[in-house]
Amino acid sequence: MIGSRGNKQFDWITILIYVALVSIGWINIYSASYSASATSFFDFSQIYTKQLVWICLSFVLITFILAVEAKFYERFSSIIYIVSLLSLLGLFVLGKNVNGATSWYFLGGFSIQPSEFAKAATALALAKYVSDIQTDLKIFNVQIKALVLIFLPALIIIPQPDPGSALVYIALIFPLYREGLHYIYLLLGFIVASLFVATLAFGVTWVSFGIILIAGFVLLKNKKRKPNFFKYGIIVAACIGFSVSVNFIFENVLEQRHRDRFNIVLGKEVDTKDIGYNTNQSEIAIGSGGWTGKGWLQGTQTKGKFVPEQDTDYIFSTVGEEWGFLGSLLVVLLFLALIIRLLILAERQKSQFSRVYGYSVAAIIFFHFFINIGMVSGLLPTIGIPLPFFSYGGSGLWGFTILLFIFIRLDASNYVNR
Amino acid sequence: MRKYLLLLIVLIFGIIIISRLFYLQVYNTSAQISSENNAIKKKFDFPQRGFIFDRNGKLLVSNQPSYDVMVIPKNIKEMDCDTKIEFCNLLKITEDELDNIIAKARIYSPRLPSVVIPQFTKDEYAYLSEKIWKYDGFYIQKRALRDYQVHNSANVFGYIAEVNQTIINKNPYYQMGDLIGKAGVEQEYEEVLRGIKGVKYQQMDRFNRVIGPYKDGIYDTLPTNGKDITLTIDAVLQEYGERLLVNKRGGIVALEPSTGEILALITAPSYDPKLLVGRERSKNFTKLYYDTISRPLFDRVLQGEYPPGSPFKTLTGLIGLQEGVIDINETVVCNGRYFYGGRKPLGCHHTRPPLSMVGGIAKSCNSYFATVYRRSIEKYPTPQEGMDNWRHHLESFGLGNYMGYDLPPGKKGLIPSANFYNRWYNYPTYKWYATATISNAIGQGEVILTPMQMVNFTAAIANRGWYYKPHIIKKINGVDTIPSKYTKRYNTTINPKHFDPVVEGMHQVYTEGTAARLRIPGIEICGKTGTSENYTKIGGKRVQLTDHSIFIAFAPKDNPKIAVAVIVENGYWGSRWAGRIAGLMIEKYLKGEITRTDMENYVLNGSLEEEYAKPISGKPFNINY
């Protein structure tokens, strides 16, 4: 029976990778936040000491998560989701503003960021909804409902404003696709994203030209099948229209700081002082690591605190500088191993609920991983989201720990049932 | 497909991330440099620049502290009106000037120091340092400047100046604001004098603040002070020479023949080396640099190229003897003219009786040396071979090329080769013969030499056939030897026995020849006068000017201690100016005092300014009177 107690077979591979990532993460937080002025290791005003406490507490948390019956998560997913939505909404009333974003509750010295926990809640709710016997993702209404489920928390998070955290919810399209969502949504998403980037990079004229060229090419190839010219015309017009509107939004709706972020990544602006400072410094830190890095606590960029927010969003730059390409490679491979392991586990789940949840976990971690390292290494525009298990912050660590270990708990039940 | 899409995307994006990291960390190394530039700052400790002494141990150049008022714009606090006026009075500038300076500093960098007013003296500093604390953002920085103990020898010392971008690009040792020797021994012995900067590596933070030593200072070094150097210059002689050349243009150079040491190196007009130190430096330098009429930065001894005139006859004679084309007793008839070919004759101020080698030199007979020269060339089957053989002899005296002395400026002079005349006469379409080059015999024609080259051949004659390369370095403190090229003896191609008649001739120049009236009691001087024709261009037209007065000499005749070459531009007769000056220099050096005060007064009170004004006056003028 699903979720019964008994000989639990936790997936130790995943757990070991988790432990490795958290440990390596802490070592780097120690370096990034290290200052010679710290009086003692147990100085609780130091960031690394705080993070160590969070890590220790997370193991207590893990014990609880694994002790709870698997069925609990499925049964209470709706309630968890609603509580999580309420906690997000509550921010508008009770939240505290930190760095321009009202994303935190302050509770007696602690700050809690509910958006970090909302991911697990949303994944649970999505898994629950999709695994319902009556849910058929081929039906348009169901599709809409699933999308609303996913993007409701994102919609609440955006105006906080925390667009980075909201962006991650796009990851949940992947479990839906796995469960039968038509590929057109992914394709549409891909086309929209491509057109968006292409328009910003090359301008409306060239993009329109490209669209017409591609359309003409496809038309020529499908000549024998008597293509519907009207349909082609509509698609081409829609694409160009989108491109024009992107341009319009970019130039007239977005604020200058957003425009700057895109322009820097696209190489249209060279800026190492103001908005591009973070990315530039981060690239210098990573790049100066060379093959093997400068050694732990020896990073000159890290010591000089050149990279802002290096212990949180930009923690990977410390890895890059002090451990070099080999160290970075190890971390990247650990993440890839974790994600791939999660996908393998998800595929072998007997229950659809576990599978959808597992997929969601893998997709969310992947999004965080790619966007964060992409940003830190200058591939993507500045999007402020943490690197899972690495970045400093109790909420983040706990949020990902809960996300991951609920799945490990679900997976363990799967074995019992075999 | 549905099962594998996300897996595929994860793998692809994973590879993208890894490639990006590989590119940043391994492939592209620019970040390493950027990192060093912004996180590690080198702080330099400047060593004391080496002192310069003369051959007798007299201190010539030392250092003095100078005080720059600096500003870090970021640290400036708003000053009220009274404070500002007070501060401006302190710096002796106007409020607008202060605002300008601060604005410029802010553009350069708000966080890095910039100079407000450079180079206050010690006295000014004492006053300033009591007040400067009142003005936030301003402070005083100490620097070392050159302190010259003498008012002369600017051409020998050179000067030091801040490095420019070209030097920084070429030599990574130098940073913006560093000082470097720019001329003279300051440039030649820059690496000896400057020492080695000490470096402290400091870890900086993002606000460009020092947060500690980099790697606990394991790469730090202490500064090594520059080495003191002793020059071969005799400060007394040098100073005397400069006085003799006041109101004249020209140069004096004296060597110790037995060593090649430069005893004095004087060019005129010159300038006081103190002009190029301190706050007025750049103003003064501009003034000197753009003085294109008297050209004080032009070293006439090293860079000036002159037709050597009659002193060159000694070499013509030596080559003739070596080539065996004339016997020392053979006389040549002279009628005041030397006829060759169908051209107009080469004139000669001497007429009779016919002279041999000794007398030819003493009386400076043009006909005699034209004969010898022509025979030397015509001894060979073709004039080309003859000319190249002649040139080969002269090259062995260090002529026709850079001499390899240890001072930066130099000119090759010109000893024409066969090729030179082949091009000139468009050989083989047109042929040329020894007679076409006959003026070379008497140091006119195509031959040109620098005074340094003239003194070098004089020293070689004094030594009867060999010389050391002229040099100005006598000793480098803490180093046992001077560069080996200055301790190597160079032999000429002339057999030592041939020098005796030439030396005797040069001696008779004083006893009964062209410098008979310049005799110095108690010193056996050998010399040779020269009066060299020269031309300039006025409005594109070639115009002859008054002849240059040239003189070479060495003394005593046996075991010579000093060799001198003197040129006084447009001084007319060699004995009038150059001869007198050469005699005075020799007497000063050998005796330490002057007995021929008549000669001294003539030179000290004489001026050629009137002569120099002629070509630029725009009026017609007479020459050679």
Q: Is the CB of residue A386 less than 8 Å from the CB of residue A368?
A: yes
Of B7, B26, B203, the CB nearest to A343: B7
Higher pLDDT, B337 or A270: B337
A82 and A175 in a common domain: yes
Taken in order B399, B402, B403, B408, is the CA torsion positive or negative? positive
Of B17, B30, B204, the CB nearest to A304: B204
pTM: 0.66
Q: Are B6 and A343 within 8 A, CB to CB?
A: yes
A115 and A19 in a common domain: yes
Q: Are A336 and B11 within 8 A, CB to CB?
A: yes
Of A174, A339, A377, the CB nearest to B24: A377
Q: Token pair for residue B155?
A: 């051409």
Of A177, A305, A306, the CB nearest to B2: A177
A202 and A146 in a common domain: no
In a domain, A396, yes or no: yes
Architecture of domain B235-617: 3-Layer(aba) Sandwich (3.40)
ipTM of the complex: 0.90
Q: Half-sphere exposure of residue B356, counting CA atoms within 13 Å on the CB side? A: 10
Q: Token pair for residue B132?
A: 């400067």
Q: Are B18 and A332 within 8 A, CB to CB?
A: yes
Residue in B closest to A172 by C-alpha: B6
Domain limits, chain B: 38-58+149-231, 65-75+88-130+138-143, 235-617
pLDDT at A172 (0 to 100): 93
Residue B460 has pLDDT above 80, yes or no: yes
> Strand B526-538 vs strand B541-555: parallel, antiparallel, or unpaired?
antiparallel
- The DSSP element (H or E) to which B349 belongs, if any, is none
pLDDT at B586 (0 to 100): 93
A139 and A176 in a common domain: yes
Comparing A414-418, B12-16, B201-205, the range with the smallest average pLDDT is A414-418
In a domain, A313, yes or no: yes
**CB of B218 within 8 Å of any CB in chain A?**
no
Summarised one tens digit per residue, pLDDT across range A337-365 is 999 999 999 999 989 999 999 999 999 99
What CA–CA distance (Å, rounded) separates B130 from A246? 65
Mean pLDDT of B177-202: 88
A216 and A68 in a common domain: no
Q: How many structural domains does chain A have?
A: 2
Summarised one tens digit per residue, pLDDT across range B506-519 is 998 888 888 888 88
A170 and A198 in a common domain: no
In a domain, A261, yes or no: no
Q: Are B211 and A285 within 8 A, CB to CB?
A: no
Nearest alpha carbon to residue A361 among A379, A380, A346, A375: A346
- The DSSP element (H or E) to which B552 belongs, if any, is strand B541-555
Which residue of A303, A317, A345, A349 to mutate against B (max B Cβ within 10 Å)?
Answer: A303
A401 and A309 in a common domain: yes
Domain covering B38-58+149-231, topology? Penicillin-binding protein 2a (Domain 2) (3.90.1310)
SS3 for B476? strand
In a domain, A159, yes or no: yes
A193 and A140 in a common domain: no
What CA–CA distance (Å, rounded) separates A258 from A262? 7
Mean pLDDT of B262-269: 92
- Residue whose entry in the numeric block shows the structure tokens 């491109």: A243
Q: Which chain A residues are within 8 Å of B31, Cβ to Cβ?
A: 283-288
Q: Are A301 and B40 within 8 A, CB to CB?
A: no
Higher pLDDT, A133 or B567: B567
Please count the other Cβ atoms lying within 10 Å of the Cβ belonging to residue A220: 9
Q: Are B18 and A177 within 8 A, CB to CB?
A: no
Of B6, B25, B34, the CB nearest to A325: B25
Q: Which chain B residues are within 8 Å of A359, Cβ to Cβ?
A: 6
In a domain, A260, yes or no: no
In a domain, A3, yes or no: no
What CA–CA distance (Å, rounded) separates A23 from A26? 5
Q: What is the pLDDT along chain A (418 residues), one digit of tens a residue?
A: 344 444 568 999 999 999 999 999 999 999 988 876 655 666 777 888 899 999 999 999 999 999 999 899 999 999 999 999 999 999 988 888 877 778 888 887 778 899 999 999 999 999 999 998 888 888 889 999 999 999 999 989 888 878 788 889 999 999 999 998 888 888 888 888 888 878 877 888 888 888 888 888 888 887 777 767 788 888 888 888 888 888 887 777 777 777 777 776 666 665 555 667 888 889 989 999 989 988 888 888 888 888 888 888 999 999 999 999 999 999 999 999 999 999 999 999 989 999 999 999 999 999 999 999 999 998 888 788 899 999 998 999 999 999 999 999 999 987 544 3
Mean pLDDT of B296-308: 91
**CB of B3 within 8 Å of any CB in chain A?**
yes
Q: Which chain B residues are within 8 Å of A347, Cβ to Cβ?
A: 3
pLDDT at A417 (0 to 100): 44
Q: Which chain B residues are within 8 Å of A320, Cβ to Cβ?
A: 21, 24-25
What CA–CA distance (Å, rounded) separates B4 from B265? 89
- A-to-B residue pairs, Cβ atoms closer than 8 angstroms: 124
Comparing B79-83, B341-345, B547-551, the range with the smallest average pLDDT is B341-345
Q: What is the mean pLDDT of chain B?
A: 87
Render B110-162 in DSSP notation, one character per residue: SSS-EEEEEEE-HHHHHHHHHHGGGSTTEEEEEEEEEEESSS--HHHH--EEE
Q: Which chain A residues are within 8 Å of B215, Cβ to Cβ?
A: 298
Q: In the β-sheet with B210-213, what is the strand arrangement from edge to edge?
A: B40-45, B198-204, B210-213
In a domain, A265, yes or no: no
What CA–CA distance (Å, rounded) separates B346 from B340? 8
Residue in A closest to B7 by C-alpha: A340
State the residue range of the domain holding A123. 12-180+275-416
What CA–CA distance (Å, rounded) separates B551 from B569? 12
Mean pLDDT of B455-480: 90
Q: Which chain A residues are within 8 Å of B34, Cβ to Cβ?
A: 284, 287-288
Q: Is the CB of residue A411 less than 8 Å from the CB of residue A1?
A: no
Of B22, B32, B39, the CB nearest to A304: B39
Alpha carbon separation from A85 to A70, A75, A329, A353 (Å, rounded): 22, 17, 37, 21
pLDDT at B343 (0 to 100): 64
Q: Are B21 and A298 within 8 A, CB to CB?
A: no
Taken in order B30, B31, B34, B39, is the CA torsion positive or negative? negative
Q: What are phi and psi of B119, to 5 degrees?
A: 60, 60
Question: Looking at CA atoms only, how far is residue A366 from chain B in angstroms?
Answer: 7
Q: Token pair for residue B420?
A: 């030179």
- The DSSP element (H or E) to which B553 belongs, if any, is strand B541-555
Residue B43 has pLDDT above 80, yes or no: no
Q: Which chain B residues are within 8 Å of A305, Cβ to Cβ?
A: 205-206
- The DSSP element (H or E) to which B568 belongs, if any, is strand B562-568
Render A68-135 in DSSP notation, one character per residue: S-HHHHHHTHHHHHHHHHHHHHHHHHH-EEETTEEEEEEETTEEE-HHHHHHHHHHHHHHHHHHSTT-
Q: Are A287 and B34 within 8 A, CB to CB?
A: yes
Residue B334 has pLDDT above 50, yes or no: yes
With both helix axes pointing from N to C terminus, report the angle between B597-605 and B578-591 in degrees, rounded to the nearest 10.
130
Buried b (16+ CB within 10 A) or exposed e, A379-388: bbbbbbbbbb
Higher pLDDT, B480 or B289: B289
A213 and A157 in a common domain: no
pLDDT at A270 (0 to 100): 59
**CB of B219 within 8 Å of any CB in chain A?**
no
Residue in A closest to B209 by C-alpha: A304
Q: Is the CB of residue B499 less than 8 Å from the CB of residue B458?
A: no
What are the strands, taking DSSP E only, across B384-521? 466-468, 473-476, 489-491
Of A304, A329, A339, the CB nearest to B18: A329
Summarised one tens digit per residue, pLDDT across range B54-86 is 999 999 999 988 888 888 887 788 888 888 888
